[in-house]
């Protein structure tokens, strides 16, 4: 078990802006995450201002007087590097990963290519443009069905489909229409683990047993979805350790320093990394808080540890004319 060290409380006595909502398909989840974070930080004595990010978010931030941003956004604009770049430009420290790590992790195909090159186990895949996928058939794949179809750049399993036959393929084409380039992966069967990492320490893992075919958006967030979470996982210790090691390797490889959640399938040949989530949800059903609680960390303690790791990626300003 990795030692997390003490809580420092770097931003106690300073205003914290919890930025949520935004413009993506995951706005509703982000609002739930942000409300939970704002409430828990207030309970720990922090001066918190909640910001529902609009197109005037720069003005909102400046008016807030906040010294640090707790980034509770999800999806496009919030976790793909764009908001991080804006905060770097403004010189405001923020939670989560920096511009480069955020962008790389959000672009699933790029992240997988990097992991594959480094020897991290990932599923076979192919990337097609939206137009190519719309006119393709399963026979065009370089591997047999079943397959997983997902947008290259979305989170919370938005637009994800399991394809087992031609009918599933046609449905997937409709589900993913309008969501950009398409990543198609060979389906890997096996237990699914989500591994939480904070800084350079593994918090732990939870086994996810979805009641439906796979752990989709509704299975993650809908009340009464029937999804079961097993803490600790019902698996041999060696398998759990292998999944945690693969997750930590992915976290480090992408340049992450904050809190991440990596989804791993324990396939017939060992762990297979699905993706790294750089802004994991913090709702009542979210996995990282569940894992932290099993580790003995309250929700507020987890958030304060994440806040302690806030940073800004902008180098010191160079004087004009230098």
What positions carry a catalytic annotation? Answer: 26, 156, 221, 261, 263, 275, 277, 281
Q: Which residue has the tokens 């060992």?
A: 270
Residues near 68 by beta carbon (within 8 Å), at least 6 away in sequence: 11, 14, 15, 16, 17, 92, 93, 94, 95, 307, 310
Q: Cα–Cα distance between 322 and 320 in angstroms, integer?
A: 6
37-46: list long-range contacts, CB under 8 Å, 24+ apart: 37/70, 37/72, 37/282, 37/303, 40/299, 40/300, 40/303, 41/16, 41/70, 41/300, 41/303, 41/304, 41/307, 43/300, 44/300, 44/303, 44/304, 45/12, 46/11, 46/12, 46/16
**3-class SS of residue 124:** coil
């Amino acid at each position: 078990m990795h030692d997390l060290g003490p809580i420092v409380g770097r931003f106690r006595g300073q205003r914290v802006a919890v930025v949520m909502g935004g413009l993506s398909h995951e706005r509703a989840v982000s609002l739930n995450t942000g409300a939970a974070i704002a409430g828990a930080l207030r309970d720990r004595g922090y001066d918190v201002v909640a910001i529902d990010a609009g197109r005037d978010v720069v003005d909102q931030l400046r008016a807030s007087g906040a010294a640090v941003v707790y980034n509770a956004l999800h999806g496009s604009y919030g976790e793909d590097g764009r908001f991080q770049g804006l905060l770097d430009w403004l010189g405001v420290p923020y939670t989560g990963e920096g511009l480069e790590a955020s962008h790389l992790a959000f672009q699933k195909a790029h992240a997988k290519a990097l992991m594959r090159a480094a020897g991290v186990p990932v599923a076979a895949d192919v990337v097609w443009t939206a137009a190519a996928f719309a006119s393709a058939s399963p026979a065009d794949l370089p591997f047999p069905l079943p397959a997983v179809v997902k947008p290259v750049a979305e989170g919370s399993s938005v637009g994800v489909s399991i394809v087992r036959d031609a009918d599933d393929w046609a449905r997937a084409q409709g589900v993913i229409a309008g969501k950009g380039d398409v990543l198609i992966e060979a389906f890997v069967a096996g237990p699914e683990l989500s591994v939480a990492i904070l800084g350079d320490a593994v918090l732990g893992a939870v086994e996810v047993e979805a009641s439906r075919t796979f752990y989709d958006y509704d299975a993650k967030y809908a009340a009464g979805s029937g999804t079961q979470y097993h803490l600790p996982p019902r698996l041999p210790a060696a398998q759990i350790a292998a999944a945690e090691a693969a997750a930590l390797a992915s976290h480090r490889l992408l340049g992450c320093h904050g809190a991440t959640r990596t989804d791993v399938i324990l396939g017939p040949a060992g762990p297979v990394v699905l993706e790294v989530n750089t802004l994991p949800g913090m709702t009542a059903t979210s996995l990282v808080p569940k894992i932290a609680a099993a580790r003995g960390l309250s929700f507020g303690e987890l958030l304060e540890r994440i806040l302690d790791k806030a940073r800004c990626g902008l180098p010191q300003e160079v004087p004009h004319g230098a």
